[in-house]
Amino acid sequence: MTSKKPTVVGLFAGVGGIELGFKKAGFEIQLGNEIDPYASATYRMNNGHQLVEGDIASLRSDQLPHDFTVLSGGFPCQPFSVAGYRQGFEDERGNVFWEIDRLIRETKPEVVFLENVKNLRTHDGGNTFRVIREALELQGYTVFDEVLNAKHFGNIPQNRERIFIVAFRSSKAATNFKWPKPVKLTNPLEKFIDFESKLEEKYYYGPERPFFDLLKKEITHKGTIYQWRRQYVRANKSGDCPTLTANMGMGGHNVPLVLTRHGIRKLTPKECFALMGFDRIKFPAGMAESRLYKQAGNAVVVPVITAIAKRIRIALESS
């Protein structure tokens, strides 16, 4: 491979977490594709390269840069999630994989990089994952997959397990690929969450909440993240943040709560993005915070992506 910077096209780009991770590993991001207009607005605020907004089914290969290196995508995880309906490829959202397959066939990138929920491996008795792996192998790729936890591979105190798929067209590059090694978690929650400052009142839970008495009784330790789970309060006793979800800004289930110097409050969107490894991010003016919480929950943990991308680059440079 030449010394030219390897390039990335990102599908299902969200707010650009995968692209940011690859950029930090020395890749050049050429183009992203995202269907959600609100995530697209956040993406554009934080990225200078081209974003094609719209359905992947309408994305033509001649819209993509010529001869790019990596095709990446955190494709929709709902069909394969334990929290979803377990419909897999029977769910229309599952069919987007065949659009990825189409673009791979038409552009033949050196590397395919995919991210999904851990449950993808076991969905439908393993058949869903087998179909994905075989589809990539039929196109001539050597396929690697691994489940990595953000707190073990990103030095981010969030218990977030995701499956990563790395597929190489070059057998020599595949021979030289190794997954990143675990790193010690040294970053405390206090680095990401402000337990001391007084924030806007809208983030705090007070006596006007019908379940406030229960929150006050159960949320007693500063430095612990709690979740309101519709009927009860759950303390995350491991000392890190539980998996942030796309519905955490909608009220009710899975809302992350903390006890601060100024009372009980939910995490802010900025704190949620910090716990996804975004060291800085700008938000579009006037965007509803529920949409920002959704975008954070749907994002990837950036340092984990960077760690894998560095290993991909080493493998490519050896081929």
Question: With contact defined as beta carbons under 8 Å apart, do 112 and 165 qualify?
Answer: yes
Question: Which run of H or E residues covers position 149?
Answer: strand 142-149
Closest CA to 180 of 155, 153, 156: 153
Compute the C-alpha angle 174/62/37, nearest 5°: 95
Q: Which two tokens stand for residue 124?
A: 């439908």
Q: How far apart are CA 2 and CA 211, in angstroms?
A: 61
Of the residues 70, 77, 114, 189, which is catalytic? 77
Q: How far apart are CA 113 and CA 100, in angstroms?
A: 11
Closest CA to 31 of 4, 57, 61: 61
> Percentage helix, strand, coil, to 5, in the chain?
35, 20, 45
Q: Is 185 helix (H, G, I), strand (E, B) or coil?
A: coil
Question: With contact defined as beta carbons under 8 Å apart, do 106 and 44 qualify?
Answer: no
Q: Is 311 helix (H, G, I), strand (E, B) or coil?
A: helix
Q: Which two tokens stand for residue 135?
A: 């589809």
Q: For helices 127-138 and 96-107, give the axis angle rounded to 10 degrees.
A: 10
Q: How far apart are CA 128 and CA 125, in angstroms?
A: 8
Residue 241 annotated in active site: no
Closest CA to 240 of 193, 301, 199: 193
CB atoms within 10 A of CB 156: 25
Active centre residues (catalytic): 77
